[in-house]
């Protein structure tokens, strides 16, 4: 019931179109019921011909695809899928024909979520030194094949409580940056390929799903946290009432090993398969099996262990 969604789409006009989208659910991250609605998407748009501007909460342009998994609580996050949703101003320009249709998307938004849960954590968050910039250059070929290249960049300051002065210190700064490639290939009803490859530095500080985690202060400087991840899934529509899906994803912590500490995750790998039985009118039954293997630093000498 937490994943029940309410969606409203509005579009008015012909030459110049205006409208918006609101998408809400009742997810809270807990196993019990939740009666408070949560905003997933909420934006207004204005468009004319090939140009469109959107303002509000939208999906990230960096790592823009979502895998075909029934594990919507995980969605291959921390195993290659790094993008999420955030408030942003997005500019879109698309042009072309049925054979080749390129599109450019640029967005400006906030980097990280606030963390004012208690007095102990007051100020222990990130603040933008500049707005977070994201971009996606993509192209649709023959109205179905799609390939894209994305990037993210921002400079941030880390606000933390100085143990000596008992004051909030924001003198240290660092940057978040990343690049990604995404591809969707519906080659045949028996074989559709979709996936991404994403890589970056300090991605977790911008609320992106990277296993390396947030930057830490060591020897009076911030240590850059680096990630390299990929995921893909293959869909085979064997019949109108049976679809088979196989998926794989991995995220590797590429931070220099000398900066690892006990408990750090060094890699995360997922493989899953599901059977979907479409019935009619949007109804279907889906079954999924999934295995997750995580490697963590067990001792300070950087030996690792696998925890299935």
Residue 129: the pLDDT is 58
With cut-offs at 50, 70 and 90, classify the pLDDT of residue 162.
low
pLDDT per position as a tens digit, 56-114 = 999 999 999 999 998 877 899 999 999 999 999 999 999 988 899 999 999 999 886 54
Question: Which of 177-186, 211-220, 284-293 is least confident?
Answer: 211-220
What is the rounded average pLDDT for all residues in the chain?
Answer: 86
With cut-offs at 50, 70 and 90, classify the pLDDT of residue 117.
very low
Mean pLDDT of 273-292: 92
pTM: 0.86
Q: In degrees, to the nearest 5, what angle opens at C-alpha 48 toward C-alphas 47 and 49?
A: 125
Residue 71: the pLDDT is 85
| 122: pLDDT strictly greater than 50 | no
Task: For the chain, give the percent of residues with pLDDT over 90.
Answer: 61
């Amino acid at each position: 019931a937490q994943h029940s969604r309410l969606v409203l789409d509005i579009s008015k006009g012909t030459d110049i179109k205006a409208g918006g989208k609101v998408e809400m659910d009742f997810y809270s991250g807990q196993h019990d019921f939740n009666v408070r609605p949560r905003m997933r998407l909420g934006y207004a748009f204005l468009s004319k011909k090939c140009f469109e501007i959107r303002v509000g909460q939208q999906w990230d342009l960096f790592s823009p695809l979502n895998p075909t998994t029934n594990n919507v609580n995980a969605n291959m996050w921390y195993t290659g899928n790094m993008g999420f949703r955030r408030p942003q101003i997005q500019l879109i320009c698309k042009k072309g024909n049925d054979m080749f249709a390129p599109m450019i998307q640029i967005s400006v938004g906030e980097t990280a979520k606030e963390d004012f849960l208690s007095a102990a954590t007051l100020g222990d968050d990130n603040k933008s030194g500049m707005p977070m910039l994201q971009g996606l250059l993509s192209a649709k070929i023959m109205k179905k094949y799609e390939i894209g290249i994305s990037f993210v960049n921002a400079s941030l300051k880390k606000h933390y409580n100085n143990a000596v002065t008992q004051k909030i210190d924001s003198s240290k700064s660092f940057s978040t940056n990343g690049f990604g490639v995404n591809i969707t290939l519906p080659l045949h009803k028996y074989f559709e390929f979709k996936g991404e490859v994403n890589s970056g530095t300090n991605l977790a500080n911008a609320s992106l799903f990277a296993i390396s985690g947030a930057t830490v202060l060591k020897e009076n400087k911030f240590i850059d946290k680096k990630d390299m991840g990929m995921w893909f899934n293959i869909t085979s529509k064997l019949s109108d009432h049976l679809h088979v899906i196989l998926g794989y994803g991995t995220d590797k912590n590429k931070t220099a090993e000398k900066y690892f500490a006990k408990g750090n995750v060094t890699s995360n790998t997922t493989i899953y398969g599901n059977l979907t039985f479409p019935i009619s009118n949007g109804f279907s039954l889906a079954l999924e099996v999934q295995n997750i293997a995580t490697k963590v630093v067990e001792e300070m000498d950087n030996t690792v262990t696998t925890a299935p």
